[in-house]
Structure 1
Amino acid sequence: MTNQLNAIERLAEVKQERMQKNLKARYAKEKRFQVYGIMSICLGMAFLAMLLGTIFYGGASSFMTSEIKLTINYDPDVIGVTDLTDEDELKWADWRGLLSTSLAERFPEVSGRSAVRQRNALVSSIAEYSLRDRLLANPEKLGTSEEIWIVADDEIDAVMKGQVDRTVPESERRITDLQLSLIDSLEAEGEIRQKFNTTFFTAGDSREPEQAGIRGAMIGSFYTLLVTLLLSFPIGVAAAIYLEEFAPQNRLTEVIEVNINNLAAVPSIVFGLLGLAVFINVFHLPRSAPVVGGLVLTLMTLPTIIISSRSAIKAVPPSIREAALGLGASKMQMVMHHVLPLAMPGMLTGTIIGMAQALGETAPLLMIGMVAFIADIPGGPLDPATVLPVQVYLWSDLPERAFVAKTSGAIMVLLGFLAIMNLLAVYLRKKFEKTW
Structure 2
Amino acid sequence: MTDATLSAGQRAAGKIKIGMTRRRRRQFVLQGIGLAAIGFAFLMLFILIASLVSSGYKAFTQTHVTLEVFVDPEEISVERLPRGGFNDVFEAALLEIFPDVSGRAELRTMTTILSNGAQFQLRDMVVADPSIIGETVQITVPTSDPFDQLKKGLVDRDTPEAQRRVSDQQIEWFDTLIERGMVSEPLNWGLITNADSRFPELAGLKGALIGSFWALLVCFVISFPLAIGAAIYLEEFAPKNRVSDLIEVNINNLAAVPSVVFGLLALAVFLNWFGLPRSAPLVGGMTLALMTMPTMIIATRAALKAVPPSIREAALGVGASKHQVIFQHVLPLAMPGILTGTIIGLAQALGETAPLLLIGMNAFITSAPATPLDSATALPTQIFIWADSPERGFVSRTSAAILVLLMFLIVMNAIAIFLRNRFERQW
What band does the TM-score fall into relative to the shorter chain?
over 0.9
Shift of 1:179: 1.7
Which of 173, 178, 199 is the aligned partner of 1:208?
Answer: 199
Contact 1:271 1:364 in 2 (8 A): yes
Query: Is 2:35 the partner of 1:38?
Result: yes
Q: Give the alignment of 1:221-240 within 5 angstroms.
A: 221-240=212-231
Shift of 1:70: 1.3
Query: Is 2:56 the partner of 1:59?
Result: yes
CA deviations on 1:48-70 (whole Å, 9 max, x unpaired) are 00100111121111111011111
**Worse-matched range after superposition: 175-184 or 276-285:** 175-184
Shift of 1:331: 0.6
CA deviations on 1:332-368 (whole Å, 9 max, x unpaired) are 1111111111111111110000000000011001111
Which of 271, 274, 295 is the aligned partner of 1:280?
Answer: 271
Query: Is 2:79 the partner of 1:85?
Result: yes
Contact 1:312 1:346 in 2 (8 A): yes
Which of 146, 155, 159 is the aligned partner of 1:164?
Answer: 155
Query: Is 2:343 the partner of 1:349?
Result: no
Aligned position for 2:364: 373
SS of 2:100 mapped into structure 1: coil
Aligned position for 1:315: 306
Aligned position for 2:14: 17
Shift of 1:165: 1.6
Which of 291, 294, 302 is the aligned partner of 1:300?
Answer: 291
**Worse-matched range after superposition: 339-348 or 31-40:** 31-40
**Worse-matched range after superposition: 401-410 or 24-33:** 24-33
Aligned position for 1:391: 382
SS of 1:319 mapped into structure 2: helix
Structure 1 unaligned spans of 5+ = none
Shift of 1:133: 1.3
CA deviations on 1:220-277 (whole Å, 9 max, x unpaired) are 0111000011111100000000001110111111111000000000000000110111
Aligned position for 2:128: 137
Aligned position for 1:179: 170
Shift of 1:24: 1.6
Instruction: Give the residue type in structure 2 aligned to 1:12.
Output: G
Query: Is 2:133 the partner of 1:126?
Result: no
CA deviations on 1:117-158 (whole Å, 9 max, x unpaired) are 331110002311111111111111111111211211111111
Distance in 2, Cα, partners of 1:38 & 1:199: 43
Shift of 1:168: 2.1
Which of 247, 267, 276 is the aligned partner of 2:238?
Answer: 247
Contact 1:127 1:150 in 2 (8 A): yes
Distance in 2, Cα, partners of 1:18 & 1:323: 55
Which of 18, 23, 26 is the aligned partner of 1:26?
Answer: 23
Q: TM-score, normalised by structure 1?
A: 0.95
Distance in 1, Cα, partners of 2:121 & 2:284: 33
SS of 1:69 mapped into structure 2: strand
Shift of 1:327: 0.9
Distance in 1, Cα, partners of 2:260 & 2:171: 47
Distance in 2, Cα, partners of 1:238 & 1:388: 30
Contact 1:115 1:178 in 2 (8 A): no
Distance in 2, Cα, partners of 1:373 & 1:173: 28
Contact 1:232 1:301 in 2 (8 A): yes
Which of 299, 318, 325 is the aligned partner of 2:316?
Answer: 325
Query: Is 2:40 the partner of 1:49?
Result: no
Q: TM-score, normalised by structure 2?
A: 0.97
Instruction: Give the residue type in structure 2 aligned to 1:47.
Output: M
Distance in 2, Cα, partners of 1:28 & 1:397: 51
Shift of 1:205: 0.4
**Worse-matched range after superposition: 388-397 or 54-63:** 54-63
Shift of 1:14: 3.4
SS of 1:281 mapped into structure 2: helix
Distance in 1, Cα, partners of 2:331 & 2:9: 64
Distance in 2, Cα, partners of 1:329 & 1:22: 59
Aligned length: 427
Identity of aligned residues (%): 48
Distance in 2, Cα, partners of 1:291 & 1:59: 31
Distance in 2, Cα, partners of 1:10 & 1:86: 112
Distance in 1, Cα, partners of 2:11 & 2:56: 66
Aligned position for 2:406: 415
C-alpha RMSD of matched pairs (Å): 1.5
Instruction: Give the residue type in structure 2 aligned to 1:65.
Output: Q
Shift of 1:44: 1.0
SS of 2:64 mapped into structure 1: strand
Contact 1:118 1:178 in 2 (8 A): no
